[in-house]
């Protein structure tokens, strides 16, 4: 998901913190990003007709804003629109799209999570959605140079068929964070390698970091399903594939994955994970950490603040620190990273071109400093107030469900999206986490399979992966010997289904490299 262009990425990170949040103020954030006319008040033009917009978007909220919500109304007022928004729960997103498409009722702005979905790609090839490439340059905020990587990596066959939802490429992904207060108490440094991580977790188990005099500490709250980063560290790649001699190979069959498996078994045998490591649910991982019983867990970076808030209800001195990176035996640093977007808005071809431009003007406003502030914080003086340079939410913020609405349409155009709310911690800790994020941005580990489509991979890999996961768990728990794993992988390499997947993925990689 990450490009090799580390020079641009670092510069882009700065731009995203400055250009997207602070630029274009001279335009007043007007829809479409056009400069205002300087005519006198006595020649004011007639008000344009209101644009009716239907749209759907993914939402993680449990309660959704209605049509009369204060933020919805404010967006309508500022953009001269009438909005009809369908907030779609994450569990029904794909089914919702299928129903809308089958009925011929795709909304003006149709949200999809992944353009890699084969059905979506087929519809794009069939001309169901607009090619937006010719239009983007006309919108000041959408065409901000800081979004260059977002537009480049979301292209299909060299064209932009969607307006992606910007999301920082670094800071997400499951990666360890540890109790910094425990590290300090035991005189330990933040680990930088897998061996150091093992030693730190072993110290958490043996040296009573919570000081209760009991040998009850769980060094790392996790289940097998949330330890995928270990395999990526050892293979020095993002995702499920790596490049070797110009060819894609699945990391499940790599020797480096065997080494990663042995690290996990060693850690489990040493008691560094919960006893029910094989079946532990995400909610149980959270409860163990937030209950002050564990020395760490794996999360995206913004959890460092939210989880610390919960732990401090039990231990006021608690402090979770995200690890900057981890190196495997080869010494290469790894951090999780992804595409600089999450989700896409598509415009069906049935929408007239004149309206396409108005829809893009609406989205352009959401990418302006003013519009993005409204989406994520609400109205200044009503939903938030500024204290010491921070936006502090008021009670009206909760009343008007600001956190459950437009922030799922226009994600924050700053590092705060992945760092979390600075008002929940001290300036020192927030600055420390910002520095960690800045260091992560310098470490570029590519995902060579990003954007590649293989029907065989889509249909056949889930079953193969499940069998591999089951075998790995058996080895970790001691139910199978590593020799049984070796025999399993040797047989898997000869599996016709896996070979078909590998061929299709490499064909797709070659086509992408050729610009097809």
pLDDT tens, residue by residue, 108-162: 999 999 888 888 989 999 999 999 999 999 999 999 999 999 999 999 888 999 9
Reported as type and span, the H/E element at residue 457 is: helix 455-477
Q: Is residue 436 part of a domain?
A: no
The per-residue pLDDT for 503 is: 98
Please state, in angstroms and rounded to a whole number, the distance separating the CA atoms of residues 401 and 405.
Answer: 7
Instruction: Tell whether 321 and 195 lie within a shared domain.
Output: yes
Residue 440: both structure tokens together: 């992560």
Residue 63: both structure tokens together: 């309660």
pLDDT, one tens digit per residue, over 220-269 is: 999 999 999 999 999 999 999 999 999 999 999 999 999 999 999 999 99
Instruction: Tell whether 12 and 144 lie within a shared domain.
Output: yes
Q: Is residue 424 part of a domain?
A: no
Instruction: Tell whether 402 and 492 lie within a shared domain.
Output: no
- Please give the residue range of the domain that contains residue 238: 175-334
The residue from 302, 318, 334 where one domain ends is 334
Q: Total domain count for the chain?
A: 3
- Select from 374, 47, 319, 275 the least CA-distant residue to 183: 319
In this structure, what CATH number is given to the domain that contains residue 72? 3.40.190.10
The residue from 419, 434, 465 where one domain ends is 419
The per-residue DSSP string of 251-277 comes to: GGGSHHHHHHHHHHHHHHHTT-S-TTT
Instruction: Tell whether 24 and 132 lie within a shared domain.
Output: yes
The per-residue pLDDT for 478 is: 98
Q: Cβ contacts of residue 504 below 8 Å, gap of 6+?
A: 454, 455, 456, 457
249 DSSP β-pair partners:
242
Is residue 418 a contact partner of residue 170, using CB atoms and an 8 Å limit? yes
Instruction: Tell whether 32 and 119 lie within a shared domain.
Output: yes
Instruction: Tell whether 326 and 362 lie within a shared domain.
Output: no
Query: Around Cβ 188, how many Cβ atoms within 10 Å?
Result: 18
The residue from 334, 360, 395 where one domain ends is 334
Q: Is residue 470 part of a domain?
A: yes
Q: Is residue 203 part of a domain?
A: yes
The per-residue pLDDT for 133 is: 98
N-to-C CA span, the chain: 19
Instruction: Tell whether 13 and 96 lie within a shared domain.
Output: yes
Instruction: Tell whether 204 and 310 lie within a shared domain.
Output: yes
Instruction: Tell whether 360 and 396 lie within a shared domain.
Output: yes
Instruction: Tell whether 69 and 104 lie within a shared domain.
Output: yes
Mean local confidence (pLDDT), 36-46: 41
Q: Cβ contacts of residue 184 below 8 Å, gap of 6+?
A: none
Q: Is residue 437 part of a domain?
A: no
Instruction: Tell whether 23 and 142 lie within a shared domain.
Output: yes
- Model-level pTM? 0.82
Instruction: Tell whether 364 and 241 lie within a shared domain.
Output: no
Residue 91 has pLDDT above 90, yes or no: no
Phi, psi of 433 (to 5 degrees): -65, -35
The per-residue pLDDT for 16 is: 43
Displacement of CA 307 from its chain's centroid (Å): 18
Q: Is residue 200 part of a domain?
A: yes
Please state, in angstroms and rounded to a whole number, the distance separating the CA atoms of residues 301 and 170.
Answer: 9
Q: Is residue 314 part of a domain?
A: yes
Q: Is residue 498 part of a domain?
A: yes
């Amino acid at each position: 998901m990450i490009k090799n262009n580390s020079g641009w990425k670092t510069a882009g990170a700065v731009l995203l913190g400055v250009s997207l949040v602070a630029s274009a103020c001279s335009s007043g954030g007007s829809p479409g990003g056009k400069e205002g006319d300087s005519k006198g008040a006595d020649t004011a033009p007639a008000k344009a007709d209101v644009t009716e917009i239907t749209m759907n978007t993914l939402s993680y909220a449990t309660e959704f804003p209605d049509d009369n919500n204060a933020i919805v109304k404010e967006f309508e007022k500022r953009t001269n629109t009438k909005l009809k928004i369908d907030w779609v729960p994450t569990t029904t997103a794909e089914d919702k799209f299928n129903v809308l498409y089958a009925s011929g009722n795709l909304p003006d702005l149709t949200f999809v999570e992944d353009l890699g979905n084969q059905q979506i790609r087929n519809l794009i090839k069939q001309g169901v959605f607009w090619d937006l490439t010719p239009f983007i340059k006309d919108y000041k905020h959408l065409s901000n140079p800081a979004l260059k990587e977002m537009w480049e990596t979301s292209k299909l066959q060299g064209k932009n068929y969607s307006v992606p939802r910007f999301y920082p490429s670094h800071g997400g992904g499951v990666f360890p964070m540890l109790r910094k207060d425990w590290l300090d108490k035991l005189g330990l440094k933040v680990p930088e390698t897998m061996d150091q991580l093992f030693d730190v977790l072993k110290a958490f188990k043996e040296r009573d970091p919570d000081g209760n005099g009991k040998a009850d500490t769980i060094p790392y709250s996790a289940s097998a399903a949330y330890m995928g980063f270990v395999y990526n560290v050892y293979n020095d790649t993002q995702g499920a594939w790596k490049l070797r001699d110009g060819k894609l190979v699945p990391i499940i069959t790599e020797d480096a994955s065997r080494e990663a498996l042995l690290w996990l078994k060693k850690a489990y045998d040493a008691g560094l994970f919960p006893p029910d490591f094989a079946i532990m649910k995400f909610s149980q991982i959270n409860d163990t950490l937030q209950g002050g019983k564990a020395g760490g867990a794996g999360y995206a970076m913004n959890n460092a603040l939210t989880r610390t808030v919960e732990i401090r209800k039990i231990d006021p001195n608690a402090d979770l620190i995200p690890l900057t990176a981890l190196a495997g035996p080869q010494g290469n640093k790894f951090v999780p990273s992804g595409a600089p977007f999450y989700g896409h808005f598509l415009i069906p071809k049935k929408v007239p071109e004149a309206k396409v431009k108005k829809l893009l003007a609406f989205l352009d406003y959401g990418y302006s400093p003013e519009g993005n502030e409204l989406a994520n914080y609400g109205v200044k003086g009503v939903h938030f107030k500024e204290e010491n340079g921070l936006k502090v939410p008021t009670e009206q913020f909760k009343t008007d469900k600001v956190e459950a609405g437009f922030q799922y349409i226009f994600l924050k155009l700053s590092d705060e999206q992945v760092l979390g709310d600075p008002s929940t911690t001290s300036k020192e800790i927030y600055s420390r986490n910002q520095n960690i994020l800045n260091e992560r941005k310098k470490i570029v580990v590519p995902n060579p399979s990003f954007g590649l489509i293989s029907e065989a991979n889509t249909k056949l890999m889930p079953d193969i992966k499940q069998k591999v996961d089951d075998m790995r768990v058996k080895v970790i728990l001691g139910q199978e010997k590593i020799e049984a794993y070796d025999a399993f992988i040797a047989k898997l390499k000869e599996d016709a289904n896996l070979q078909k997947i590998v061929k299709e993925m490499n064909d797709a990689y070659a086509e992408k490299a050729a610009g097809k």
